[in-house]
């Protein structure tokens, strides 16, 4: 009688049910935990750099909002600053009209920016990537000109003056050192990151990736593209609006600069540096971008833009993954000792 051959074990991915697969994928890993512990630990480690850290947290949230549509839905935007600016102006105007409590103003500003994103999303459903680029840029330019023309509301080129932000929950005042501002911005970024992490690792997030890879194929298996693109575009607008509101609340000032094209370009550069499609790219890229800008502007105040561009060209030519591998090579023995495996 012939002996039966031993059954080959199924791969881990094949053996898991869809629900178990998503649960395993959503599990926290120690580099993520270390990243956030380090971010909050900087409150104590760098007490004199809280203003810079606050800017990094806000830029990271803004880049995260762009990553939701670029990295997961494949929507390239040149005018993402439109929603950042709407949130910034909304927070300023709310504070001038009696809503000076930061958390309340933050939520309302995000809702107003989300409504703007919802209305704008219908214009990016049709057409090619080039058409979307022009539409997103056009929306930002229109809002910029409206803010400039309606100076009796926005302050125009002089900026919105008289913005007064009260204590957080009526207890925590903003200080000149920026400590409260950094804790406030970082906590907001962390909470919104948790929500974004849950969204992209849910079935909804997987359907977005399917649409990004092949919209026609995704449509044939029953995925409705329009509803999902509208939903993620609206959510990204809420995130961008909250980032703008954080800037207004922590600086108590807002100007036309929040709607500039350079604001959108900075978010794209951050994702070029940090990578898109895995959420942490916007956060890591924001840290690298702000530190490079701070160091280069201190070393060469007149030519720091040239060196920033030079570094970005090198990054593109060499490749981010290859460059990171070169920089991490001396630390490979330590990573092996800690049990970190290379992908």
Q: Are 295 and 183 in contact (CB under 8 A)?
A: no
Cα separation, 226 vs 243, in Å, equals 26
Does 199 map to a domain? yes
Does 16 map to a domain? no
Phi-psi region of 169 (alpha: psi -120 to 50; beta: other; left: phi over 0): left
Does 12 map to a domain? no
Give the SS3 label for residue 168: strand
- Phi, psi (5° rounding) for residue 257? -60, -25
Domain that holds residue 78: 39-286
Give the tokens for residue 339: 């049990």
pLDDT in tens, the chain (343 residues): 444 444 444 444 455 666 676 676 767 888 889 999 999 999 999 888 999 999 999 999 999 999 999 989 888 888 999 999 999 999 999 998 888 899 999 999 999 999 999 999 888 777 667 788 888 888 999 999 999 998 888 888 888 888 888 889 888 888 888 899 999 999 999 999 999 999 998 888 888 888 887 777 777 777 778 888 999 999 999 999 999 999 999 999 899 999 999 899 999 999 988 888 889 989 999 999 998 888 888 888 777 788 888 888 887 777 666 766 666 566 556 445 544 444 4
Residue that is last in its domain, among 286, 311, 326: 286
Check the CA dihedral 89-106-247-201 and report its sign: negative
Q: The domain that contains 214 carries what CATH number?
A: 1.10.3470
Query: Do residue 115 and residue 224 come from a single domain?
Result: yes
Query: Do residue 340 and residue 197 come from a single domain?
Result: no
For the stretch 186-208, pLDDT in tens is 999 999 999 999 999 888 888 88
Check the CA dihedral 215-210-62-180 and report its sign: positive
Query: Do residue 282 and residue 304 come from a single domain?
Result: no
Cα separation, 13 vs 36, in Å, equals 28
Spatial CA neighbour of 124 closest among 52, 225, 255: 225
Query: Do residue 62 and residue 188 come from a single domain?
Result: yes
Does 70 map to a domain? yes
Query: Do residue 97 and residue 232 come from a single domain?
Result: yes
pTM tops 0.85: yes
Query: Do residue 250 and residue 308 come from a single domain?
Result: no
Does 216 map to a domain? yes
Query: Do residue 250 and residue 170 come from a single domain?
Result: yes
Query: Do residue 337 and residue 196 come from a single domain?
Result: no
Query: Do residue 225 and residue 308 come from a single domain?
Result: no
Does 260 map to a domain? yes
Query: Do residue 235 and residue 307 come from a single domain?
Result: no
Q: What does the DSSP assignment read for 216-257?
A: HHHHHTT--HHHHHHHHHHHHHHHHHHHHHHHHHHHT-B-GG
Number of domains in the chain: 2
Query: Do residue 240 and residue 309 come from a single domain?
Result: no
Cα separation, 22 vs 19, in Å, equals 5
Residue that is last in its domain, among 254, 286, 318: 286
Q: Which long-range contacts (CB under 8 A, 24 or more apart) does 166-172 make?
A: 166/100, 166/101, 166/102, 167/101, 167/102, 168/101, 168/102, 168/103, 169/101, 169/103, 170/101
């Amino acid at each position: 009688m012939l002996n039966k051959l031993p059954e080959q074990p199924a791969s881990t991915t094949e053996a898991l049910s869809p629900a178990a697969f998503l649960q395993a994928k959503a599990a926290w890993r120690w580099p993520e935990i270390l990243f956030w512990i380090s971010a909050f630990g900087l409150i104590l480690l760098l007490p004199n750099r809280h203003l810079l850290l606050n800017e990094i947290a806000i830029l990271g949230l803004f880049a995260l909002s762009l990553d939701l549509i670029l990295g997961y839905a494949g929507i390239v935007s040149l005018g993402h600053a439109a929603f950042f600016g709407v949130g910034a102006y909304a927070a300023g105007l709310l504070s001038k009209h009696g809503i000076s409590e930061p958390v309340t103003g933050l939520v309302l500003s995000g809702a107003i920016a989300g409504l703007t994103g919802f209305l704008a999303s219908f214009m990016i459903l049709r057409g090619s990537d080039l058409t979307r680029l022009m539409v997103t840029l056009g929306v930002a330019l229109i809002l910029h000109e409206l803010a400039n023309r309606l100076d009796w509301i926005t302050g125009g080129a002089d900026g919105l003056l008289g913005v007064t932000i009260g204590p957080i929950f009526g207890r925590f005042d903003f200080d000149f050192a920026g400590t409260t501002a950094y804790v406030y911005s970082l906590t907001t970024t962390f909470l919104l990151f948790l929500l974004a992490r849950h969204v992209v690792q849910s079935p909804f997030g997987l359907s977005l990736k399917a649409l990004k890879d092949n919209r026609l194929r995704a449509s044939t298996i029953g995925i409705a593209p329009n509803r999902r693109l509208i939903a993620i575009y609206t959510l990204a607008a809420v995130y961008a609006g909250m980032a703008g509101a954080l800037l207004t609340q922590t600086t108590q000032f807002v100007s036309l600069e929040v709607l500039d094209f350079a604001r959108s370009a900075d978010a794209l550069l951050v994702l070029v540096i940090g990578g898109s499609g895995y959420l942490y790219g916007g956060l890591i890229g924001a840290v690298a971008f702000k530190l490079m800008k701070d160091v280069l502007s201190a070393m060469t105040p007149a030519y720091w833009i040239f060196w920033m561009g030079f570094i970005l060209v090198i990054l593109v030519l060499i490749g981010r993954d290859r460059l990171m591998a070169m920089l991490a090579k001396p630390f490979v023995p330590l990573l092996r000792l800690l049990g970190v495996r290379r992908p």
